[in-house]
């Protein structure tokens, strides 16, 4: 079965705290793609990152970083020094070929207070 | 490039009525996707077009649902004989022919069936 699990339903932090959002996926395919999207209150899904299954290098983009570990089937997302503007629902997603349908997790709602 | 446009943003309809939503993808994107998102859930895949060909349909797409992309540009999603369970956000996304470096989502159409 192909599945994405985001076990954390809601996380609340205070500004400047670091926070990690967990994502665990299930697949039997050897080639797949992992994504993170942000959905702010306005509703539009904003693309954050795409990773293919052959690239296990961690990535950092500003305050955002991603840790991809095939051994544990995880693709975790860390926000360093969180800000109020980071408050949103974050989704992890999986696809099996470039351009095919995405399978989303249920999302993690992040609330950052000042 | 104005992104993916969806119309209308909101639709309230009475049970049993038919509704039609429109999606205009990014012009150079040949792939177009429809997803449905209910409260507290991640988006669920409905169907996918490559140019004008509908290549994949989810089991979620009952026979009351039909999608078209007649000239490989904009797409419409029609729901016939709406039911209260159809109330959801309907999201459209598009992606380019190569690389699929992230799918671009529209802001969605929120359907409420009363």
Interstrand relation of A59-61 and A64-69 (parallel, antiparallel or unpaired): antiparallel
Gyration radius of chain A over CA positions: 14
Calpha distance B94→B1 (Å, rounded): 13
Of A18-27, B35-44, B58-67, B100-109, which range is least confident?
Answer: B100-109
Q: Within an 8 Å CB–CB cutoff, is residue B58 touching chain A?
A: yes
pLDDT of residue A15: 97
Cα of B106 to nearest chain A Cα, Å: 6
Least confident of B1-15, B51-65, B95-109: B95-109
Return the pLDDT at B96.
84
Contact between A45 and B93 using a beta-carbon 8 Å cutoff: yes
Asked if the C-beta of B74 comes within 8 angstroms of chain A's C-beta atoms, the answer is no
DSSP annotation string for B66-99: EEE-TTSS-EEEEESS--GGG-EEEEEEEE-SSS
The average pLDDT across B38-62 equals: 91
What pLDDT tens digit does each residue of chain A (114 aa) get? 789 999 999 999 999 999 999 999 999 988 899 999 999 988 889 999 988 898 888 888 899 999 999 999 999 999 999 999 999 999 999 988 767 789 999 999 999 999
Is some CB atom of chain A closer than 8 A to the CB atom of B89? yes
Which pLDDT value is given to residue B100?
Answer: 54
Q: Are A114 and A84 in contact (CB under 8 A)?
A: yes
Read off the pLDDT of each residue in B60-75 and give the average, rounded to a whole number.
92
Contacts of A46 in chain B (CB under 8 A): 105
> What pLDDT, on the 0 to 100 scale, is given for residue A91?
98
First-to-last C-alpha distance (Å) of chain B: 36
Q: What pLDDT was estimated at residue B99?
A: 59
pLDDT band at B101 (very low <50, low <70, confident <90, very high): low
- State the burial class of residue B16 (Cβ atoms within 10 Å of its Cβ: 0-12, 13-18, 19+): exposed
């Amino acid at each position: 079965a192909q599945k994405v699990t985001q076990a954390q339903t809601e996380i609340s932090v205070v500004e400047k705290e670091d926070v990690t959002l967990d994502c665990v996926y299930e697949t039997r395919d050897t080639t797949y793609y992992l994504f993170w999207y942000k959905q702010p209150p306005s509703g539009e899904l904003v693309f954050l990152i795409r990773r293919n299954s052959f690239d296990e290098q961690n990535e950092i983009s500003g305050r955002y970083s991603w840790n991809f570990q095939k051994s544990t089937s995880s693709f975790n997302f860390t926000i360093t020094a969180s800000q109020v503007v980071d408050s949103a629902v974050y989704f992890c997603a999986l696809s099996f070929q470039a351009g095919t349908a995405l399978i989303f997790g249920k999302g993690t709602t992040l609330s950052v207070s000042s | 490039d104005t992104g993916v446009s969806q119309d209308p943003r909101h639709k309230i309809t009475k049970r049993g009525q038919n509704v039609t939503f429109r999606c205009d993808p990014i012009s150079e994107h040949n792939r177009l996707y429809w997803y449905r998102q209910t409260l507290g859930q991640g988006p669920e895949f409905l169907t996918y077009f490559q140019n004008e060909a509908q290549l994949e349909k989810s089991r979620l797409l009952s026979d009351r649902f039909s999608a078209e992309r007649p000239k490989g540009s904009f797409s419409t999603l029609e729901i016939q004989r709406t039911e209260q369970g159809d109330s959801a956000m309907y999201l459209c996304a598009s992606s380019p022919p190569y690389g699929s470096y992230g799918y671009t989502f529209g802001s969605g159409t929120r359907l409420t069936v009363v």
